Amino acid sequence: MAKTVERIIYVLNGPNLNLLGTREPATYGHATLADVEKLCVDTAAQFGLKADCRQSNREGELVDFIHEAHAKGVAGIVINAGAYSHTSIALHDAIVGVQIPTVEVHISNVYARESFRHHSFTARAAFASLCGFGIDGYRLAITGLAARIKANAQSKA
């Protein structure tokens, strides 16, 4: 029997998301980055996907992850670029350049916050953007991404 190729998605988290659980819990909740990563791995598995979760506080490293996704033939990207969403033309250009289906996610409702958060360069490059659902936004993003790349829910045997 031929071995099936595992489809991989990247889940990329930007600056300060390593502080989840302790950083502004009134805004971001008490879940940690490890909780987010477990949620992503578990959700992706429901669609026969493998989530490769990464976090960086450095813009260039996030760009490198996006380029690597292209080189490795990754099926999709979920990105929470944090504050870089509002400032990084480089991330926008990387997402557009690799042409990998991408969903932007934010834990908080950025439109209920400071006005500088109301614009997102990464959202303009993504096919969808979610905000305000807490960490459950990652589950919703992966579900939407799976539908976009036609990954079917796996039956539980």
pTM over 0.85: yes
pLDDT at 6 over 70: no
- At 118 the three-state DSSP class reads helix
Residue range 112-137: mean pLDDT, rounded: 88
Q: Give pLDDT tens digits for 44-101.
A: 999 999 999 999 999 999 999 999 999 999 999 999 999 999 999 999 999 999 999 9
Closest among 140, 123, 135 to 27, alpha carbons compared: 135
pLDDT score recorded for residue 155: 59
| Max Cα–Cα distance, the chain, nearest Å | 56
Q: Do β-strands 128-131 and 7-13 pair in parallel, antiparallel, or remain unpaired?
A: unpaired
pLDDT score recorded for residue 23: 85
What DSSP line would sit under 90-106, residue for residue? HHHHHHHHHT--EEEEE
- The domain 7-148 having CATH identifier 2.60.130.10: the answer here is no
Residues known to be catalytic = 28, 106
Where do the structural domains in the chain lie, given as residue ranges? Answer: 7-148
pLDDT at 30 over 80: yes
